Amino acid sequence: MSTTKKKKSTSGSLLELVLIVATALALALGIQAFLVKPYRIPSESMEPTLQVGQRVLVNRIGTRFTDPKVGDVIVFHPPQGSQDNRCGVPPVAGRACSLPTRGRSDVNFIKRVVGAPGDRISIVDGRVIRNGRPTVEKFIKPCTGGEECSFPKPITVPKDYYFMMGDNRGSSDDSRFWGPVPKKWIIGAAFATYWPPGRIGLL
């Protein structure tokens, strides 16, 4: 084989390798953008289910075709003002926030769905009362007391909205303070953990 043919063969193989790597990278970015996205747990609000620094995979497409269900762990955009627990309506003593502010925040939160559209929700000692019945929530870290743990006056979750709460009920800024979240602000449902290796599994 001549030197010229060897050079052409080498350059052809190199070009093929570059194309394969570029295609794989494009597919990975496409999957992350449209199908599955990794997410890092930033706070202790979902303990004991999810720890700070743990990483989950989020299904970005599932909630576009089906409605979230009570019990799902969801990544979403909270309303503007959520960082300082601002409600979209004047607060009522003993009642959770019934409506968020109109604007959507650009940050991402992860919480659990505890109320679906039409549900009547109240909270006693950090535990959800849904449609008049206490829910079984073995996964939560209970409240330790105080005003933020109990909202005994029920609210009704509006159509196409979802009431979100962290599993760490005494250390979670959630729908109790800034209201239910519209479905259009939901990014997707977390379905598995992939880091650290000792906590790999499905949610």
Whether residue 115 sits in one domain with residue 23: no
Catalytic annotation, pick one of 82, 98, 105, 111: 111
Residue 135's domain is classified under what CATH number?
2.10.109.10
Told to judge if 45 belongs to the known catalytic residues of this protein, a careful annotator would answer: yes
- What mean pLDDT comes out for the span 123-149? 90
Query: What is the residue-averaged pLDDT of the chain?
Result: 86
Is 13 catalytic? The answer is no
The pLDDT value recorded for residue 178 is 97
Q: Contact 116/67 with Cβ under 8 angstroms?
A: yes
Q: Residue 32 pLDDT more than 70?
A: no
pTM exceeds 0.95 for this model: no
Catalytic residue among 45, 82, 98, 105: 45
Q: Is residue 185 located within the same domain as residue 197?
A: yes
Predicted local confidence at residue 78, as pLDDT? 97
Residues 89, 149, single domain; the answer is: yes
Judge whether 88 and 181 are in contact, CB under 8 Å. Answer: no
92 and 52 inside one domain = yes
Q: Are residues 126 and 26 part of one domain?
A: no
